């Protein structure tokens, strides 16, 4: 196992020795390995590293951080990667069983990475040597809302389940996914006027019209008719059909300022977050077109994520992330980053008020904040 973890590291990159010890300890514990109870990993791991150094496959060093603290580090040399070990399986063993009842059973051999991915779109019901998850509409829509595509979920289950996905489960997941985005949150300018005047606006500014609502109302782009008529900037929700509109009105009726048509609901900027929270509690997940204007990224694009973090470090800006912490719990954190590589980002965590290291593959969503000039304390 130790050689397997070492082989996952990059050649000629420096790694913190203490962090590697903790990684081995966590791997043994998560996998419920009997070795956890019988080996002294604090003695075995240093012994392995020492042998590799004697063989000329490993180099040790010392690193000083900004606070003057000392870190023992090591890096592996290219000859190490020629070692073969019986611990390396030819093919990863599938550890999931997807039941027609929508239960997903994770057997003890299921890897930590598979459990993490599963936790993004399924609810954990029980946890022992065998973990049981449940596929639910709410969990699936939450995952899609956080940037996880349905096809990626289905491909994951097909690849990791011993017997694939039951047909009824696949069809139901596809049906649930279709319900995402039945309501869309948009920004625009609401114009209300007599039909004759709207006809003139349409004739002169037709390419600037986003949505014709009725004979006396339309949504247009901001600033295009300021010289013709008074504009009213607003946030509005658009339901895809009458059924979705009726369901939406029952949930957010108290926040609606205007209802120009059966499927259009105008709300105030101050009530946007309240409306979104109320809708999600009732299983309505709006497709937020405003996010296209925000500088944010999901974990689907890891390269873009690292680019944004490097840009934030260069501009001395903070980042806001949704992070999957220990026990697979989501937490929202604001971080002042100061170093990033392919696997980790280091920075000051304002939630914990201390320096922390975060795994990139556990960041589900990231946004670079406009505020700058942070001070790492």
DSSP output for 164-206? ---HHHHHHHHHHHHTTTSEEEEEEEEEE--HHHHHHHHHHHG
Q: In the CATH scheme, what is the code of domain 183-292?
A: 3.30.2130
Residue 83 has pLDDT above 70, yes or no: no
Residue 374 has pLDDT above 80, yes or no: no
What pLDDT sits at residue 35? 45
Residue by residue, DSSP assigns 339-357 as EE-SSEEEEEETTTTEEEE
Residue by residue, DSSP assigns 44-94 as HHHHHHHHHHHTTSEEEEEEE-TT--EEEEEEE-GGGGG---TTS-SSPPP
The pair of structure tokens assigned to 62 is: 């010392």
Q: What is the mean pLDDT of the chain?
A: 80
Lowest mean pLDDT among 69-73, 79-83, 107-111, 334-338: 79-83
Binned at pLDDT 50, 70 and 90, residue 37 comes out as very low
What pLDDT sits at residue 32? 45
Position with higher pLDDT, 26 vs 264: 264
C-alpha to C-alpha distance for 135 and 130, rounded to whole angstroms: 16
Answer for the pair 337, 313: CB distance below 8 angstroms, yes or no.
yes
Which of the residue ranges 91-105, 168-182, 193-207, 362-376 has the most confident prediction, judged by mean pLDDT? 168-182
What is the average per-residue pLDDT within 60-73? 79
Closest CA to 14 of 377, 355, 364, 339: 339
The per-residue pLDDT for range 215-256, each reduced to its tens digit, is 888 888 766 665 555 556 678 888 888 999 999 999 999 999
C-alpha to C-alpha distance for 366 and 332, rounded to whole angstroms: 10
Where in the chain is CATH 3.30.2130? 183-292
What pLDDT sits at residue 56? 80
Where in the chain is CATH 1.10.10? 2-82
The pair of structure tokens assigned to 166 is: 């039951």
Return all residues near 123 (Cβ < 8 A) that are at least 6 apart: 133, 134, 136, 138, 139
C-alpha to C-alpha distance for 20 and 291, rounded to whole angstroms: 38
What is the average per-residue pLDDT within 79-91? 57
What pLDDT sits at residue 170? 93
Alpha carbon dihedral 253, 255, 259, 263, in 10-degree steps, equals -60
What is the average per-residue pLDDT within 261-284? 87
Beta strands in 12-51 (DSSP E): 15-16
What pLDDT sits at residue 78? 81
Position with higher pLDDT, 377 vs 157: 157
> 296-372: which CATH architecture?
Roll (2.30)
What is the average per-residue pLDDT within 59-63? 84
Cα 180 to chain centroid distance, Å, stands at 17
Residue 82 has pLDDT above 80, yes or no: no
Binned at pLDDT 50, 70 and 90, residue 34 comes out as very low
Domain 2-82 -> CATH class: mainly alpha
Alpha carbon dihedral 304, 306, 312, 313, in 10-degree steps, equals -160
Name the percent of the chain lying above pLDDT 90.
Answer: 21
Please tell me what DSSP assigns to residue 221: -
What is the average per-residue pLDDT within 197-222? 81
Position with higher pLDDT, 294 vs 141: 141
C-alpha to C-alpha distance for 18 and 22, rounded to whole angstroms: 6
What pLDDT sits at residue 197? 82
Binned at pLDDT 50, 70 and 90, residue 33 comes out as very low
Residue 355 has pLDDT above 60, yes or no: yes
Where in the chain is CATH 2.30.30.100? 296-372
C-alpha to C-alpha distance for 343 and 21, rounded to whole angstroms: 17
Residue 157 has pLDDT above 90, yes or no: yes
Residue 331 has pLDDT above 80, yes or no: yes
Binned at pLDDT 50, 70 and 90, residue 36 comes out as very low
What pLDDT sits at residue 193? 82
The per-residue pLDDT for range 182-197, each reduced to its tens digit, is 877 777 778 888 888 8
What is the average per-residue pLDDT within 163-191? 86
What pLDDT sits at residue 14? 83
Lowest mean pLDDT among 13-17, 28-32, 125-129, 343-347: 28-32
Binned at pLDDT 50, 70 and 90, residue 301 comes out as low
Closest CA to 6 of 61, 58, 66, 71: 58
């Amino acid at each position: 196992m130790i050689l397997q973890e070492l082989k996952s590291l990059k050649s000629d990159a420096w790694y913190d020795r203490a962090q590697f010890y903790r990684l081995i300890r966590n791997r043994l514990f998560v996998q419920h390995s009997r070795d956890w109870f019988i080996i002294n990993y604090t003695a075995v791991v240093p012994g392995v590293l020492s042998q590799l150094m004697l063989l000329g496959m490993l180099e040790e060093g010392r690193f000083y951080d900004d606070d003057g603290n000392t870190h023992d580090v090591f890096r592996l040399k290219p000859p190490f990667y020629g070692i073969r070990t019986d611990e390396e399986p030819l093919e990863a063993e599938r550890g999931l069983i997807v039941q027609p009842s929508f239960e997903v059973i994770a057997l003890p051999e299921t890897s930590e990475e598979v459990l993490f991915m599963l936790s993004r779109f399924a609810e954990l019901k029980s946890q022992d040597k065998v973990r049981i998850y449940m596929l639910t509409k709410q969990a699936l829509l939450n995952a899609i809302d956080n940037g996880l595509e349905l096809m990626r979920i289905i491909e994951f289950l097909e690849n990791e389940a011993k017997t694939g996905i039951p047909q009824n489960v696949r069809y139901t997941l596809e049906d649930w996914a279709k319900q995402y985005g039945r309501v869309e949150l948009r920004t625009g300018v609401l114009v209300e006027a007599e039909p004759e005047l709207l006809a003139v606006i349409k004739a002169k500014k037709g390419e600037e019209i986003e949505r014709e609502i009725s004979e006396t109302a339309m949504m247009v782009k901001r600033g295009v008719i300021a010289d013709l008529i008074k504009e009213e900037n607003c946030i509005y929700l658009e339901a895809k059909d009458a059924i979705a509109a009726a369901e939406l009105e029952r949930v957010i009726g108290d926040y609606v300022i205007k209802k120009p048509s059966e499927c259009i609901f105008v709300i105030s900027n101050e009530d946007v977050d309240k409306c979104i929270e109320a809708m999600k509690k009732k299983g309505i997940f709006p497709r937020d077109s405003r996010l296209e204007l925000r500088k944010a990224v999901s974990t689907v694009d890891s390269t873009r994520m690292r680019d944004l973090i490097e840009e934030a470090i260069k501009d001395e800006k903070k980042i806001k992330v949704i992070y999957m912490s220990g026990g697979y719990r989501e937490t929202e954190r604001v971080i002042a980053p100061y170093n990033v590589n392919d696997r980790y980002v280091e920075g000051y965590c304002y939630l914990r008020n201390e320096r922390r290291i975060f795994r990139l593959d556990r960041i589900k969503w990231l946004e670079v904040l406009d505020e700058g000039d942070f001070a790492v304390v």
